[in-house]
Amino acid sequence: MLLRRVLLLASVALVAGAASTESEDTFPQCAVTCQSQVIADNSTSCATTDTSCLCADDTFQTDMTDCVSTSCTPKQALLTKRLNNRQCGIPPHKGRPKLDSGTLIPLIISTLLFGNRIAAKFMGLGGGWGADDYTIIVAYGLGVAIFGINITMIDYGFGQNLWDITPLDNITIVLKYFYAFTLLYKAQISLAKISVCLFLLRIFQSKMFRIGAFTIIALNAAIGITWLFTDSLRCIPVRLAWDQWATGEVGRCVNFIAVTFVNAYVNIAVDTVMVLMPVYEVFKLNLSARKKAGVSVMFAMGLVLTGVAIARVIVFWFNRWNTNPTVQLQPIVHWSVIEVQIAVMCACLPTFRAMLVHVFPKVLGNSSDKSYYAHRNTPSKPPTFGSTQPLSKSHINKTVSYSIDYTTNKRNQRHSFVPLVEMDPHET
């Protein structure tokens, strides 16, 4: 008796599964009715069974689309479009692969630079641990999560035509992941830029620079919080962000395209200011032209991030979201994944330079600039190491040797400044 019940339940499940599969392999009844109605209205001279003729008849296709959009549910309309495209031999859009070199290589480079930064901190290079380090740790973690979400979305059909995603219920899953993606992206970009500003505050000590840096930090925090709320509540009720395609429910949603463009323009403006501020300070230093150029190039690498942000805006402009979001949103998602990794790279480049100087001191550490660097908790009497040049007007802390800069005790490490340029130990 028990075996009979188990077999009965199994057969019911198989039949239900087969019915569910068949439901996406056959035209819904509303589409069949529309076809009969359009042909009866003399919208075409093609026979009902002449598929090639019906596919080539633009008037028939337009009338069918209008009828299906009003007579069928959104899900049935998508299914009709998918099956119609198959009959007419229209190939589906494949989208980008899961492991794309365009996103994988930036992730690998950012991971190497991030790992170098953590290793350098444990070695005592580039100053002690600070708020900028803890902030970039969170930003890097979010960047890895963003990369993973992109792969997961592609697994569920992101990048394909909305109507080609199989089964259609995967559209809801894709849009849920995209919802999470936008929130993590906004948080990650803001945190990475805040980390850079916190790092710069440990180097540049001029009053005007510090006021500007704190202002930029406040702006980045405000941008992040504002757009986190905007994206998380872009639809009321919130679930419309991922299930409106199926239900057709009317709610209140902000213009996603307009919000995305405004956020991009604000970020580009802030990026530009963040690059120009330290470069301007460097050119005020009493350093050789070679060192000025080297340090300026290091900070100017932030322009790469600005360039990616601009490319992201241009790509989004030509792929604005309308009737096929899973295809039109993939380019901006692709560039967003690249942008978050480059943000981590830019934040970790200065520590990479400190590691190179430590490993190759004779190649990268030599300089004729005899300037020194002091910790915040150093006694008031300035050290004398044969230095004849005064400190620069911008009050940037500079180093005289690794024994001075990189062997601070744990108590002082947290509050130490970061050296900007390194001296050859033999010059001391």
- With bands split at pLDDT 50, 70 and 90, how would you rate the model's confidence at 273? confident
- With bands split at pLDDT 50, 70 and 90, how would you rate the model's confidence at 43? low
Does the structure show a pLDDT above 80 at 265?
A: yes
Does the structure show a pLDDT above 80 at 208?
A: yes
Mean pLDDT of the chain: 77
CA atoms within a 13 Å half-sphere pointing along the CA-CB vector of 26: 10
Q: What is the pLDDT of residue 280?
A: 76
Does the structure show a pLDDT above 50 at 384?
A: no
Give the mean pLDDT of 333-341.
94
Does the structure show a pLDDT above 60 at 214?
A: yes
Greater confidence, 402 or 221? Answer: 221
Dist CA 58 CA 394 (whole Å): 70
Annotated binding residues, as ranges? 50
Amino acid (1-letter code) at residue 14: L
* pLDDT, tens only, 184-200: 999 999 999 999 999 88
Q: What is the pLDDT of residue 394?
A: 41
Annotated binding residues for heme, as ranges? 50
Q: What is the pLDDT of residue 357?
A: 75
Greater confidence, 39 or 163? Answer: 163
- With bands split at pLDDT 50, 70 and 90, how would you rate the model's confidence at 112? very high
Dist CA 27 CA 15 (whole Å): 19
Does the structure show a pLDDT above 80 at 402?
A: no
Sign, CA dihedral 237-24-157-261, equals: negative
Q: What is the pLDDT of residue 359?
A: 77
Give the mean pLDDT of 256-273.
88
Q: What is the pLDDT of residue 286?
A: 63
Q: Which of 72, 76, 41 is nearest to 59 (CA)?
A: 41
- The residues, any chain, with a CB within 8 Å of residue 280's CB and separated by 6 or more, are none
Q: What is the pLDDT of residue 60?
A: 85
Task: Mean pLDDT check: name the lowest of 175-179, 213-217, 413-417.
Answer: 413-417
Give the mean pLDDT of 160-187.
95
Q: What is the pLDDT of residue 389?
A: 42
- Longest Cα–Cα distance in the chain: 100
Does the structure show a pLDDT above 70 at 287?
A: no
Does the structure show a pLDDT above 80 at 390?
A: no
Residue count of the chain, please give it: 428
Does the structure show a pLDDT above 70 at 10?
A: no
**Paired tokens of 59:** 């008037």
Structural domains of the chain in order of their starting residue, each with its CATH number: 29-88 (no CATH), 101-359 (1.20.1070)
Give the mean pLDDT of 316-320.
82
β-strand pairing of 235-236 with 252-253: antiparallel
Give the mean pLDDT of 399-427.
41
Q: What is the pLDDT of residue 408?
A: 37
Dist CA 146 CA 180 (whole Å): 9
Dist CA 160 CA 166 (whole Å): 10
The most confident of the ranges 38-42, 117-121, 218-222 is 218-222
Q: Which of 292, 424, 291, 288 is nearest to 362 (CA)?
A: 424
**302 in Cβ contact with 277 (< 8 Å):** no
- By three-state DSSP, how is residue 253 classified? strand
Q: Which of 176, 203, 141, 169 is nearest to 351 (CA)?
A: 203
Give the mean pLDDT of 403-425.
42
**352 in Cβ contact with 339 (< 8 Å):** no
Does the structure show a pLDDT above 80 at 8?
A: no
- With bands split at pLDDT 50, 70 and 90, how would you rate the model's confidence at 292? low
- By three-state DSSP, how is residue 173 classified? helix
Q: What is the pLDDT of residue 306?
A: 82
pTM for the structure as a whole: 0.77
**Paired tokens of 113:** 């630079």
- With bands split at pLDDT 50, 70 and 90, how would you rate the model's confidence at 424? very low
